[in-house]
């Protein structure tokens, strides 16, 4: 349990309702900043302004998935007020106070370094990324079904990247009966793709592997679907680019060639906000329990 552990949840979207629920179950002392317009009421979670909190009592701060911008402002969809995490405020927290964010930003890196507070980036963790790959892949399936007139079964699908999401994508499309080829750059990934019964190729040779595909799903956060590659792709192919913005596709050239290319960010939050929230809540609560619960408690 997290009894007496004071956690400030500062901003967030619908996914954070699951985080509040979970931390509440664990009996944490929760201060909600940026939730003034939230109708739901949680016993044990007080809606407050940051100025009303004594920073010296705070053990952990939970920021939205997007972190904080250059002014320290966090996304708070349940509030009209500006919610800002300042260096001055963070400095007044105890030295053991940990800041949990989805992704990091230059501002958060700088401020946490200046005041020497630990910054935990939840979305860089393998466990969270692997759990999150499930709703991401379901969202990708939805987009492929909506934007093609063929079944996934027997379709020719190229998946770019065999990372945490690429692996789940490859296995899911393969299980649905698609002819899956996967592009990677490491020899061990080529071996793994072969072992999984799919067709491997090196991403550096991408342009030679796209002429016969129906669907291309990119997970590589680098410009790899260049004009040169797209020139080899059939115009009726569909590209779903799930890599972080701006994606890995030359969208301008794709449009010029008549290839439908969709940049599809934040799929878990769109197709399964509750599951996506639970994934964050479970990983975060495990980390908090490891950090703040003394063995034998």
Which residues here bind ligand NAP, judged by CB under 6 A?
129, 132, 136, 161-166, 185-186, 203, 219-222, 224, 242-244, 264-268
For ligand NAP, the closer of residues 25 and 174 by Cβ is 174
For ligand NAP, the closer of residues 48 and 134 by Cβ is 134
Q: Closest distance between ligand NAP and the C-beta of residue 53, in Å?
A: 32
Q: Closest distance between ligand NAP and the C-beta of residue 169, in Å?
A: 9
- Residue 102's nearest CA partner among 74, 135, 78, 79 is 74
For ligand NAP, the closer of residues 30 and 261 by Cβ is 261
Rounded to whole angstroms, the Cα distance separating 208 from 181 reads 12
For ligand NAP, the closer of residues 235 and 246 by Cβ is 246
DSSP per-residue string spanning the chain: --TT-EEEEE-B-THHHHHHHHHHHTT-EEEEES-TT-----TTEEEE-GGGS-GGG-SEEE--TT-B-TTSEE-BTT-SS-EE--HHHHHTS-TT-EEEESS--HHHHHHHHHHT-EEEEGGGSHHHHHHHHHHHHHHHHHHHHHT-SS-STT-EEEEE--SHHHHHHHHHHHHTT-EEEEEESSHHHHHHHHHTTSEEEEGGGGGGG-TT-SEEEE--SS--B-HHHHTTS-TT-EEEE-SSTT-SB-HHHHHHHT-EEEE---HHHHH-HHHHHHHHHHHHHHHHHHHHPPTT-
Q: Closest distance between ligand NAP and the C-beta of residue 295, in Å?
A: 32
For ligand NAP, the closer of residues 34 and 269 by Cβ is 269
For ligand NAP, the closer of residues 18 and 59 by Cβ is 18
Q: Closest distance between ligand NAP and the C-beta of residue 254, in Å?
A: 17
Q: Closest distance between ligand NAP and the C-beta of residue 184, in Å?
A: 6
Sheet of strand 238-241: strand arrangement: 199-202, 179-184, 156-160, 215-218, 238-241, 260-263
For ligand NAP, the closer of residues 226 and 266 by Cβ is 266
Q: Closest distance between ligand NAP and the C-beta of residue 110, in Å?
A: 22
For ligand NAP, the closer of residues 34 and 248 by Cβ is 248
Q: Closest distance between ligand NAP and the C-beta of residue 277, in Å?
A: 14
Contacts of 161 (CB under 8 A, 6+ apart): 183, 184, 203, 218, 219, 220, 243
Q: Closest distance between ligand NAP and the C-beta of residue 228, in Å?
A: 15
Tell me the residue number closest to ligand NAP, measured at CB: 163
């Amino acid at each position: 349990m997290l009894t007496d552990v004071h956690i400030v949840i500062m901003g967030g979207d619908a996914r954070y309702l699951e985080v509040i629920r979970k931390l509440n179950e664990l009996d944490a002392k929760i201060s909600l900043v940026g939730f003034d317009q939230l109708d739901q009421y949680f016993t044990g979670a007080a809606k407050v302004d940051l100025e009303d909190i004594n920073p010296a009592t705070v053990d952990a701060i939970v920021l939205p998935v997007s972190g904080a911008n250059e002014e320290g402002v966090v996304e708070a969809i349940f509030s009209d007020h500006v919610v800002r995490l300042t260096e001055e405020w963070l400095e007044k927290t105890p030295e053991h106070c940990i800041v949990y964010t989805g992704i990091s930003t230059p501002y958060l890196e700088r401020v946490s370094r200046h005041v020497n507070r630990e910054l935990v980036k939840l979305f860089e963790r393998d466990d969270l990324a692997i759990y999150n790959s499930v709703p991401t892949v379901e969202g990708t399936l939805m987009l492929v079904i909506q934007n093609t007139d063929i079944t996934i079964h027997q379709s020719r699908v190229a998946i770019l990247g065999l990372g945490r999401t690429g692996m789940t994508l490859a296995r899911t499309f393969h299980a649905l009966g698609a002819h899956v080829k996967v592009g990677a750059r490491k020899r061990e990934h080529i071996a793994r793709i072969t072992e999984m019964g799919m067709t491997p190729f090196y991403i550096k040779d991408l342009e030679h592997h796209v002429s016969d595909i129906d669907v291309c799903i990119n997970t590589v956060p680098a410009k790899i679907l260049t004009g040169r590659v797209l020139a080899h792709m059939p115009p009726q192919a569909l590209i779903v680019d799930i890599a972080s913005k701006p994606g890995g596709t030359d969208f301008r050239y794709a449009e010029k060639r008549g290839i439908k290319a969709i940049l599809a960010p934040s799929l878990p939050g769109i197709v399964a906000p509750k599951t996506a929230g639970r994934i964050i809540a479970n990983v975060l609560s495990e980390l908090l329990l490891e950090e703040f619960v003394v063995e034998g408690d």
